[in-house]
Structure 1
């Protein structure tokens, strides 16, 4: 990396990436590393938000930039190689080779620490094996691209994009004895995010769940706030049967709504906790409690009785106090409400709603989508392999459950 025509030492970039990954603030990380914000922004843009070097500190086997600076100062002051080695705790032969190496010198023959470090950085910057595998294996790249952009089932409409982690783990199942058709999810991410690494079409990053062209540090989080609703104690999640928590017994569901533009339209979501099977509620005429309850009853009654046990719902604005029980919302399942500001109590459903935003973006009118469209999207989600299911799909798990029952 070059700053103002001068190559920035790798140690400085390592400091920047450590701070950036930990806190996600480009300005703060740039100040700690001693570089300009513009330089730091260029690093992030060029690397797609992915650190482009090993963040671990040097092991001590090789000279560091600080040691090279000390060597340069002591050598210029006329100190001998044995004394320099003694002061740095290095063998005299290491110092001698460093000073004699032609790649460590400027055009006038002087030993220059920054030139020596830049030469070392170039020598150690080798391409990753996983990246070479993608570039040189069209079959593997084609498999990945087909699942990133949703072309998994071209004969059955919309199939849904898979995540890099789903693709990586499914490769192990589909090609267990072919290491040339296996690659890590991190390599797939870097092929999408990082400029110049190639192997996959650049525009495929839009198929990722986030839709971002660069990675966002984990430390950058957002808090979702919601107004408090008054719910009778008997319907709070604390009163829900204990068997729901461990997912051992099927038939327990989580539900919520995704809302359209200007809060005028919605789609209901139901997710079974054991299999992660998804059903979508068509709400073309609004999402008042009565309309949601009617759509939910119609949908969930298509299932066998033993798969209709409980439903955990969010305390959303569509629910007036006790509306769920007043209108028979609990038929044919027992209804419970989450605590305020506690979306993690419906974690499976929250994750599903995030996936659905790939199909139904925020700020759009959701009432225009017909019921058949919702069925296609639900089929797409139920056909995606999940890590929690051992990389099986929700549809496969539900079919297995129904067959064994």
Structure 2
């Protein structure tokens, strides 16, 4: 048998029948709705039996059999139909209708069983078929009175019953649909809150890793660089002193050993700093990191170009540029509806600049510049804040229908020429760069 879950696409996302809703226990009023119909049906069956007592014995017996058969099919099917396939439900409903049609001329009160039939039509066929079935049953009920003479009440009774039933069913379905939409919204909010919590946690971890990397760079690495530089200068001064060669060589050998030890430790410190950098920068250059950021984004043609002489930038500068690029590119992917986006990284003597330009729908920067980051967009204020921390700036230019251009500029020290000494160790010029 086909389960109710398998049948759900046939009924529509918000058109689940009452029995399914009751079984899941998730819709307000579904249980009361079902029980009310069952109570009404049982009452009508009892009234039908009472009214049949006035008939002759054979007709009374026939009426009892028909009422019993109809009631059995109704209650048994109502209990089991949630496990029926849609085709079996239609067959069950057809049998109920057929027994009712046979019963109407014999038990006139049974015409009021239209009420539960109307509800069943609308539950099993929550579309235009249900309305057609209601209209058809109403017509049969009215036509069945033709032989004894149609009256105003005889016509209006079934007609009003049909209208009231359709209105009640529509009201409940609207209530359930609104409830489903609210529940979906609540689920989305809970999911978004969980995602934000994870994002904030990851951002906190990344910030702490960068802080530690900066501390290592500004203390241990710089200290080792200074030691190398001082040892190099001292070595040159000793070599220039007029003294015996043997003692001089011993001193210089020890100083070179100290410089080599400092150089090895500096390499290890730099490896630690690299391991603490953002994942995209840990094993690649900034340009390659930008390629990795854009690779997963489909539907937009990203072009990444580099101008100027590429050189190694301070770790914090590269990390900040990458974060700004991720924010700007994320906005392009989520909001711009662009087909093309050009990302340009420009190296100049005293600054490095990142430009992200798209051909999307554009916007008015003043309208959203003050929005907080995290709820569906990367706030422009967050991009500005990252740049300001390194004494840089972010400029956003956009207009509706004219695309968007985000330009970030960060100051950097002029490039330093690297030199190696005759002994292969770092010269003062390279040490200062380290």
Q: TM-score, normalised by structure 1?
A: 0.24
Greater relative contact order structure (CA < 8 Å, 6+ sep): 1
Higher helix share: 2
Q: TM-score, normalised by structure 2?
A: 0.22
Max Rg structure: 2
